[in-house]
Amino acid sequence: MTASDPTAAFRVEAGELLDQIEEALLDLGHCLDDHDLIDAVFRGLHTLKGSGAMFGFDALAGFTHHCESAFDRVRKRLAPATAELVAVILSAQDHMRALLDGGADASESVGAEILARLQMAIDGAPAVTDQAKPARRGWRLTFRLPPEAMANGSNPLMLLDELRELGDARIVALTDKIPPIDELVPTECHVGWAVELCGDIRRSDIEDVFIFVMDDMLLEIEELADEGEAQASLEPCAPAVPIDHAPCGDAPVAPAAPTATTEEPAKALPKAGETVRVPAERLDLLMDRVGELVIVQSRLSQLAHGGAGGGNQVLHSISEEIERLAGELRDTMMVLRMVPVATLFGRFRRLVHDLARDTGKTIELTTEGETTEVDKTVMERLADPMVHLIRNSCDHGLEPAAERVAAGKPAIGQVRLSAKQAGGEVIIAIRDDGRGIDRDRVRAKAEAQGLIQPGQAVSEHDVLQMIFHPGFSTAEQVTNLSGRGVGMDVVKRTIESLRGTIDVTTVPGQGSTISLRIPLTLAIIDGLLVRVGTARYVIPLSAVEECIELSPEEDRRSHGRSLITLRDRLVPFMRLRDMFETRTEPDPHQKIVIISTGADRVGLVVDQIIGSHQTVIKPMSPVHCDVTIFAGATILGDGNVALILDVAQLVALCQHREERRRAAA
């Protein structure tokens, strides 16, 4: 998107507007008599219609006009807000998105079907009368547009025409702010207007006329008490020019110079927007450049601290300064890419609303920790897995209302989304208070598919992980929501591609929790650089708990069981030199790096701990993508490549080896 592409800019802003309309509709579904929400939906539709027509999206504007008219009737209490009306407008909003994108779903037949449903939703219910609100006598308003209004495309005469359409209007132009001719700027708007509107008109009707310029203008609205006041209300205290009811093309001519009047204090206009919309691809490009800078800085640091530049104090000082600046730039770049998970959680309100209608269940979605931030790339890739998990919770997890009541539960099923940061990871949990996962049923299905042998000793963790196996499903019948055994497999593959892990806990009759542990970022991490044999590897620093020394005596004593006692707790460990088959003699003083994922702790035996390292993550080549114990690679300061260890895979591998050892014993 460029500054010269107004259509692309409109699509972005219209998408945000549709999100706001959807949010207001979902809130309205819980409180159908909330007139503030009704007005919010109407204003959103009104703005979308006007903007769409302005940018040439005539089909969108025409379709939105019908929805706006329907909500206008609700707003004026000529029809009630109903759950069916909310559902129809939500469907209409999907069609608006299709019209906005020009997709294949934007067919006239789809739009016609939605409008037919909309007509039934409006006409099928009796009109609402509001005896508590008396008819309006009228309104008196004064407004002044900002000086740059006409240069920005606003036409005051069109605003006056819209006011005339609301009722009997008398309009007077206020000319007291017009400067002398030698100081007048022709492109600026200096005229104000005083308007008297008589009739049964709502204040919100007047505000809707100024919806596009409301934030920057001066607008005063006062209700008229009676007809006597209405007749005398427009006696101007400053020179003014009456405007008759001629067409807008006959513009009034203002006097050349105004009479001196008492100056009113000018209303301070809001400051211009302090945020800048930047396309995502530009942030990605900037992130790549920062990564390259970090690599070059690492090479400079190595050159300054050793080799030919080791004795050069000036080079040493410059290296430290560039290291500081590169670190600050990296941290700033990370902040730019971080977005709150509220933007992700907000997408699922509509999903749960539709699932409740499809399944006939009453479901309430609650969220916690919406301010937790995560990298935008991670956020985008989390959307699809979470859709599958929420579908499973609503379809498989939650029971129908009658079954819940019979079990002593509330009829309303609960789905809860939560997020929290833990070190360099974010933990996102999907909880439901449904029937829970039947472990025996999962095991029986796994045995039937040959995934485990009958009678084989399998931990509860491994049994629950079976639900993520391709083609695995315990559903008795396939529905349009689930049952084919493909969704959870997609979840596992996506989370693992993000270097994350999935944990499942369940309590029969009380519900299940699926926790996703995801790195905060996929671009640059702080790592611990270690040596195993002659090769160097990077361990994500966020997973490192501590480092201890492994003496030769303990090394010999631990062979065969690979366990150490750490503060009265047994911790399994693995020798990376054996795993990587280095075929070199171990160092006399080996080190154990204790890593953890959640409650699981594992030790990694290395030959040397080199130190911390800013790690720019490069993806593995397609040839090596099946080597799951590596999360990627990075370029060191000397130009060599170091592989980044996948902590979650190493912990799982160590636990698997320990379980096999126990089973063999």
Q: Is residue 103 included in any domain, yes or no?
A: yes
Domain co-membership, 537 together with 592:
yes
Range from 241-255, 349-363, 453-467 carrying the lowest mean pLDDT: 241-255
Mean pLDDT of 650-656: 75
| Burial of 533 from C-beta contacts in 10 A (0-12 / 13-18 / 19+) | middle
What mean pLDDT is predicted for residues 97-115?
Answer: 79
- Number of helices (H) and strands (E) in the chain: give both, helices first: 20, 22
Kindly state the tokens that stand for 481.
């929501």
Strands 338-340 and 641-645: unpaired
Q: Give 3-state DSSP helix, strand, coil % of the chain, rounded to 5.
A: 45, 20, 35
pLDDT for res 169: 85
AA identity, residue 20 = Q
pLDDT at 249: 38
Q: What are the DSSP calls for 513-529, one per residue?
A: EEEEEEES-SSEEEEEE
Q: What CATH number has the domain bearing residue 530?
A: 2.30.30.40
Q: How confident is the model over 97-102, as a mean pLDDT?
A: 85
pLDDT band at 537; cut points 50, 70, 90: very high
Which distant-in-sequence residues (6+ apart) come within 8 Å of 3 by Cβ? none
- State the Cα–Cα distance between residues 461 and 656, nearest whole angstrom: 11
pLDDT at position 273: 45
The whole-number pLDDT of residue 4 equals 53
Domain that holds residue 657: 524-664
For 633-644, write each residue's pLDDT tens digit: 888 877 788 888
Same domain, 386 and 486: yes
Q: What is the mean pLDDT of residues 32-43?
A: 88
Are residues 190 and 84 part of one domain?
no
Average pLDDT rounded to a whole number, residues 31-54: 86
Classify residue 131: in a domain, yes or no. no
On whether both 473 and 346 belong to a single domain, the answer is: yes
pLDDT value at 270 more than 70 = no
How many domains, the chain? 4
Out of 123, 146, 174, pick the residue that ends a domain: 123
pLDDT at 538 over 60: yes
- pLDDT value of position 513: 93
- Residue 591 inside a domain? The answer is yes
CB 519 within 8 A of CB 424: yes
3-state secondary structure 9-33: HHHHHHHHHHHHHHHHHHHHHHCCC
Q: What is the pLDDT of residue 254?
A: 38
Over residues 486-496, the mean pLDDT reads: 79
Alpha-carbon span 632 to 645, nearest angstrom = 8
What span, in angstroms and rounded, lies between the C-alpha atoms of 407 and 415? Answer: 18
DSSP codes joined into one string, 379-431? HHHHHHHHHHHHHHIIIIISPPHHHHHHTT--SSEEEEEEEEEETTEEEEEEE
Q: How many CA atoms lie within 13 A of 96 on its CB side?
A: 30
Does residue 470 share a domain with residue 408? yes
Residue with the bigger pLDDT between 627 and 30: it is: 30
pLDDT at residue number 431: 94
The model's pTM: 0.63
pLDDT in tens, 417-474: 999 987 667 889 999 999 998 888 888 888 888 888 887 777 787 788 888 887 777 6
Q: Is residue 505 part of a domain?
A: yes
Q: 355 with 497, same domain?
A: yes
pLDDT of residue 279: 76
Domain boundary among 123, 156, 186: 123
pLDDT in tens, 45-71: 988 888 887 788 888 888 888 888 888
φ/ψ (deg, to 5) at 439 = -60, -40
Higher pLDDT, 352 or 268: 352
Mean pLDDT of 115-133: 67
For residues 453 and 356, membership in a common domain is answered with yes
Give the model's pLDDT for residue 425: 77
Q: Is residue 353 part of a domain?
A: yes
Decide: 427 and 420 in contact? Cβ < 8 Å: yes
User: Which CATH number do you get for residue 33?
Assistant: 1.20.120.160
On average, the pLDDT of the chain sits at 79
Above pLDDT 70, what percent of the chain?
83
Rounded distance between C-alpha atoms, residue 116 and residue 92, angstroms: 11
Residues 79 and 197 in one domain: no
Q: Is residue 279 part of a domain?
A: no
CATH number at 191 reads 3.30.70
Provide the CATH number for the domain around residue 496.
Answer: 3.30.565.10
Which of the pair, 160 or 616, is modelled with greater confidence?
160
Nearest CA among 55, 117, 56, 48 for reference residue 89: 117
Instruction: Compute CA 257 distance to the chain's CA centroid, rounded to the nearest angstrom.
Output: 54
Domain contains 306: no
Please check whether residues 395 and 504 belong to one and the same domain: yes
pLDDT digits (tens, 9 = 90+) for 178-212: 888 888 888 888 899 999 988 878 787 788 788 77
Residues 584 and 655 in one domain: yes
Of 438-452, 473-487, 499-513, where does mean pLDDT reach its minimum? 473-487
- Residue 504, classified by CB atoms within 10 Å of its CB into exposed (0-12), middle (13-18) or buried (19+), is middle
pLDDT band at 245 (very low <50, low <70, confident <90, very high): very low
What digits encode the pLDDT tens for the residues 206-244?
887 887 777 778 888 888 765 445 444 454 444 444 444
Tens digits of residue pLDDT in 435-448: 998 888 888 888 88
Asked whether residue 508 is domain-assigned, the answer is yes
Do 118 and 12 have their domain in common? yes
d(CA 129, CA 78): 7
Contact in structure between 267 and 218 (CB atoms under 8 Å): yes
**What would the pLDDT profile of 137-150 be if each residue is shown by its tens digit?**
688 889 999 888 88
Q: What is the pLDDT of residue 465?
A: 82
**Does residue 524 contact residue 294 with C-beta atoms inside 8 Å?**
yes
Residues 114 and 76 in one domain: yes
> Given 519, 550, 577, which residue is the final one in a domain?
519
What single-letter DSSP state applies at residue 136? P
**275-320 pLDDT, tens per residue?**
677 777 788 788 888 888 888 887 888 778 765 555 678 888 888 8
